[in-house]
């Protein structure tokens, strides 16, 4: 049979891995920016250690590996600049880092904590005489060993006994909820672990990185996204990091730090109490933010956040709390300041980048905000998404001494929106993001982007009739826009609001699982969907929608949100 690898067609050789084929084709240069680190076949991601054609396939003739047959032998290599490549690189770095810690400090407990900017934080306890330089040296030694990273398949029951015998109770408890009969491990000596996805072919591929000390552990700094041959310029984000830690503290308090904890709460029925406490916590936070706004005397609130963070519900709940203070909040959207689509120049690829700051009439917004805060009457624009043009519908606004504007939008924290002449004390900035503090186990944190994608997929299907495939096809573009236009400004917020809830994975599973499992292997988004399913397979579904209040942020995505109901 023929294989086509990045446009190069060759004859398949039995029992030869993609890694070996790439070596023969001269595709490895020793540079992370150009070297392949994973492969995509028929919508699925594979390690480079995958063998496209086995002797068994030749002997049985009709037996061709399913993904290879579905793709017609087409293999697309993934590199670090690809989102898939970065995920593979990060998983491998975690394996190497935890392996190094286990070698140096066998009795230490290391936990994946959170992702902060271009790095991720590992919390380490019980490591006597911890030394970050020793850890760096050990990690580099493991890289130099060029350890092949190949999976070993064992039964789930064996895996549970294996982890329990080694004191890894978090993994053992999680696997007790696993329905699949088998489980995969990566091993080196006495150390075994798994990171729920593909890995680099060997540890030697970990080329660009740094390890920085923190008060309770280390930050592992990833390669630069634009220039992977160099390490990212890590920028400390104390405000963002403190919100993560606050969320983890609440997880500890509510005895819900891992998915196994969440499953136990579902099984016992105590998830209802978790919902009530989580929602009360959110309400208290909105009340505190309203207090801060009023204490400052701010007249405008700029509220921003990435896709599916719950901005609309957050804006409405904040407005309710401001009314408690005797204020008259008015909701505005930056979407109404979009420039007519036919006046926007396309990008180099010929497409409109609708998340670019240049799609917003920043000059008009700045002038109108200044005028409003100066007591002038202003006619506000309205953007018609059907005609893709701005309209003037006679909507006039003048603020009185009790009015507070809440401006919601993607670019809400971008300083270009605010004129230099505007008194900064009159503006209060809020960043909203679901910073889920829940881990799958101690070594694998569920990414914030994972929760947002689940939310968006359910919402787009329920309220907009969009298929899973359509939502997934837009996600990479959405993420690129966020990385460019939202994340650089998040640390500038006066307040960061964590819009995640510890219970929602168990609730949202009922709504999304049938949609995800209906996606066919032939779909381009199949592997992305498969990664979502892989995590949800460990989550016990909870049928407790009746416990979730109509003003909950979760309701913005599963339906029944009272802020979306039209007044009679």
Same domain, 6 and 106: no
Is a pLDDT exceeding 70 seen at residue 288? yes
Burial of 5 per CB tally in 10 Å (0-12, 13-18, 19+): buried
Same domain, 116 and 72: no
Residues 6+ apart with CB under 8 A from 363: none
Burial readout 126-144 (b: 16 or more C-beta within 10 A, e: otherwise)? ebeebeeeebbebbeebbe
Is a pLDDT exceeding 50 seen at residue 120? yes
The CATH number of whichever domain residue 180 belongs to comes to 3.30.980.10
Same domain, 262 and 135: no
Helix 468-485 and helix 448-464: axis angle, to 10°?
A: 130
The CATH number of whichever domain residue 18 belongs to comes to 3.10.20
Where would I find the beta strands (DSSP E) of 354-426?
Answer: 378-379, 382-384, 389-391, 396-397, 403-408
DSSP calls for 275-341 = HHHHHHHHHHHHHHHHHHHHHHT-SEEEEE-STTS-HHHHHHHHHHHHHHTT-EEEEEEGGGGBPPG
* Distance of alpha carbon 355 from alpha carbon 358, whole angstroms: 8
Query: What is the chain's Cα-based Rg?
Result: 25
Domain stops at, among 236, 257, 282: 236
What is the percentage of the chain residues whose pLDDT exceeds 90?
75
What rounded mean pLDDT belongs to the chain?
92
At 430, is the secondary structure helix, strand, or coil? Answer: strand
Band (565; pLDDT cuts 50, 70, 90): low
Bridge partners of 429? 302
Residue 49, CA atoms < 13 Å, CB-side half-sphere: 14
Residue 164, CA atoms < 13 Å, CB-side half-sphere: 11
| pLDDT for the residue numbered 566 | 54
Query: 468, 519 in Cβ contact below 8 A?
Result: yes
Sign of CA pseudo-dihedral 49, 534, 434, 438: negative
Domain-embedded: residue 345: no
Same domain, 291 and 319: yes
Is a pLDDT exceeding 60 seen at residue 567? no
| pLDDT for the residue numbered 64 | 64
Q: When comparing pLDDT for 223 and 480, which is higher? A: 223
Domain stops at, among 236, 261, 296: 236
Same domain, 229 and 270: no
Same domain, 333 and 223: no
Domain-embedded: residue 138: yes
Is a pLDDT exceeding 90 seen at residue 476? no
Same domain, 418 and 275: yes
Same domain, 60 and 187: no
The CATH number of whichever domain residue 315 belongs to comes to 3.40.50
Burial of 191 per CB tally in 10 Å (0-12, 13-18, 19+): middle
User: Structural domain tally of the chain?
Assistant: 3
Query: 468, 461 in Cβ contact below 8 A?
Result: yes
- As a dihedral over the C-alpha atoms of residue 173, residue 176, residue 178, residue 179, rounded to 10 degrees, the angle is -170
Helix 311-324 and helix 271-296: axis angle, to 10°?
A: 60
* Distance of alpha carbon 272 from alpha carbon 192, whole angstroms: 36
**Among 237, 122, 249, 254, CA closest to 496:** 237
Residues 6+ apart with CB under 8 A from 505: 259, 262, 438, 446, 451, 454, 536, 539
* Distance of alpha carbon 411 from alpha carbon 35, whole angstroms: 35
Structure tokens at 554: 């979760």
Instruction: Express each pLDDT in 372-426 by its tens digit.
Output: 999 999 999 999 988 999 999 999 999 999 999 999 998 999 999 999 999 999 9
Domain-embedded: residue 377: no
* Distance of alpha carbon 355 from alpha carbon 411, whole angstroms: 9
For residue 543, CA distances in Å to 98, 257, 408, 506, 511 come to: 37, 21, 32, 8, 10
Same domain, 61 and 143: no
Domain stops at, among 236, 269, 301: 236
Is a pLDDT exceeding 60 seen at residue 273? yes
| pLDDT for the residue numbered 296 | 96
Is a pLDDT exceeding 50 seen at residue 568? no
∠ Cα 178 184 188 (to 5°): 135
Structure tokens at 551: 């003003």
Domain-embedded: residue 55: yes
| pLDDT for the residue numbered 63 | 57
Domain-embedded: residue 568: no
Instruction: Express each pLDDT in 239-258 by its tens digit.
Output: 888 998 899 888 988 899 99
Burial readout 395-415 (b: 16 or more C-beta within 10 A, e: otherwise)? eebebeeebbbbbbbbbbbbe
Instruction: Express each pLDDT in 291-318 by its tens digit.
Output: 999 999 999 999 999 999 999 999 999 9
Domain-embedded: residue 98: yes
Q: When comparing pLDDT for 74 and 447, which is higher? A: 74
Residue 234, CA atoms < 13 Å, CB-side half-sphere: 21
Place of tokens 């690898």: 5
| pLDDT for the residue numbered 292 | 98
Query: 550, 562 in Cβ contact below 8 A?
Result: yes
Element (H, E) at 132: helix 132-145
Q: When comparing pLDDT for 287 and 194, which is higher? A: 287
Region class of 410: left (phi > 0), else alpha (psi between -120 and 50), else beta: alpha
| pLDDT for the residue numbered 396 | 95
Is a pLDDT exceeding 60 seen at residue 279? yes
Is a pLDDT exceeding 80 seen at residue 59? no
Domain-embedded: residue 365: no
Range of the domain at 175: 85-236
Domain-embedded: residue 567: no
Instruction: Express each pLDDT in 512-551 by its tens digit.
Output: 999 999 998 878 888 889 889 999 999 999 999 999 999 9
Same domain, 73 and 99: no
Instruction: Express each pLDDT in 444-475 by its tens digit.
Output: 989 888 999 999 999 999 887 889 999 998 88
Structure tokens at 557: 């995505």
Band (62; pLDDT cuts 50, 70, 90): low
Same domain, 212 and 324: no
Same domain, 75 and 89: no
């Amino acid at each position: 049979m023929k294989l086509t690898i990045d446009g190069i067609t060759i004859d398949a050789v039995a029992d030869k891995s993609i890694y070996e084929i790439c070596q023969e084709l001269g595709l490895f240069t020793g540079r992370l920016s150009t070297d392949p680190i994973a492969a995509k076949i028929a919508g699925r991601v594979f390690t480079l250690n995958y063998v496209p054609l086995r002797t068994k396939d030749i002997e049985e003739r009709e037996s061709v590996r399913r993904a290879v047959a579905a793709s017609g032998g087409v293999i697309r290599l993934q590199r670090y600049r690809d989102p898939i490549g970065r995920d593979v690189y990060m998983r491998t770095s975690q394996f190497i880092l935890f392996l190094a810690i286990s070698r140096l400090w066998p009795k230490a407990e290391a936990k994946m904590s959170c992702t902060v900017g271009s790095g991720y934080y590992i919390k380490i306890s019980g490591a006597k005489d911890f030394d970050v330089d020793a850890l760096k040296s050990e990690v580099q030694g493991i890289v130099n060993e060029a350890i092949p990273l190949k999976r070993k398949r064992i039964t789930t029951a064996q895996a549970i006994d294996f982890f329990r015998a080694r004191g890894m109770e978090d993994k053992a408890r999680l696997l007790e909820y696993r329905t699949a009969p088998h489980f995969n491990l990566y091993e080196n000596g006495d150390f075994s672990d798994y990171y729920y996805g593909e890995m680099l072919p060997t540890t030697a591929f970990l080329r660009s990185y740094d390890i920085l000390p923190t008060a309770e552990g280390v930050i592992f700094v990833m390669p630069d996204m634009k220039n992977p041959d160099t390490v990212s310029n890590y920028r400390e984000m104390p405000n963002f990091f403190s919100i993560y830690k606050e969320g983890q503290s609440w997880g500890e308090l509510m005895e819900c730090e891992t998915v196994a904890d969440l499953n136990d709460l579902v099984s016992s029925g105590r998830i209802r109490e978790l919902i009530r406490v989580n929602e009360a916590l959110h309400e208290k936070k909105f009340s505190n933010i309203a207090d801060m706004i009023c204490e400052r005397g701010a007249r405008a609130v700029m509220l921003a956040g990435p896709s599916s963070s719950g901005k609309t519900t957050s804006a409405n709940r904040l407005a309710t709390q401001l009314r408690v203070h005797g204020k008259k909040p008015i909701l505005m959207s930056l979407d109404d300041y979009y420039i007519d689509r036919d006046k926007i120049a396309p990008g180099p690829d010929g497409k409109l980048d609708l998340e670019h700051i240049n799609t917003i009439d920043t000059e008009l917004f700045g002038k109108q905000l200044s005028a409003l805060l100066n007591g002038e009457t202003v006619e506000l624009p309205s953007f018609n998404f059907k005609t893709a043009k701005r309209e003037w519908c006679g909507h006039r606004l003048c603020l009185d001494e009790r009015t507070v504007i809440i401006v919601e939008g993607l670019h809400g924290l971008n300083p270009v929106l605010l004129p230099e002449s505007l008194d900064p004390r009159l503006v209060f900035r809020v960043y909203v993001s679901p910073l889920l503090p829940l881990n799958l186990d101690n070594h694998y944190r569920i990414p914030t982007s994972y929760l947002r994608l689940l939310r968006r997929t359910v919402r787009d299907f329920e309220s907009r009739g969009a298929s899973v495939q359509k939502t997934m096809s837009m996600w990479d573009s959405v993420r690129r826009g966020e990385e460019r236009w939202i994340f650089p400004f998040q640390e500038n917020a006066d307040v960061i609001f964590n819009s995640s809830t510890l219970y929602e994975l168990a609730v949202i599973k009922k709504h999304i699982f049938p949609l995800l499992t209906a996606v066919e292997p032939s779909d381009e988004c199949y592997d992305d969907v498969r990664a979502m399913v892989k995590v949800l397979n460990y989550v016990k579904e909870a049928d407790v929608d009746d416990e979730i209040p109509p003003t909950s942020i979760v309701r913005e995505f599963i339906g029944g949100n009272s802020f979306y109901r039209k007044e009679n």
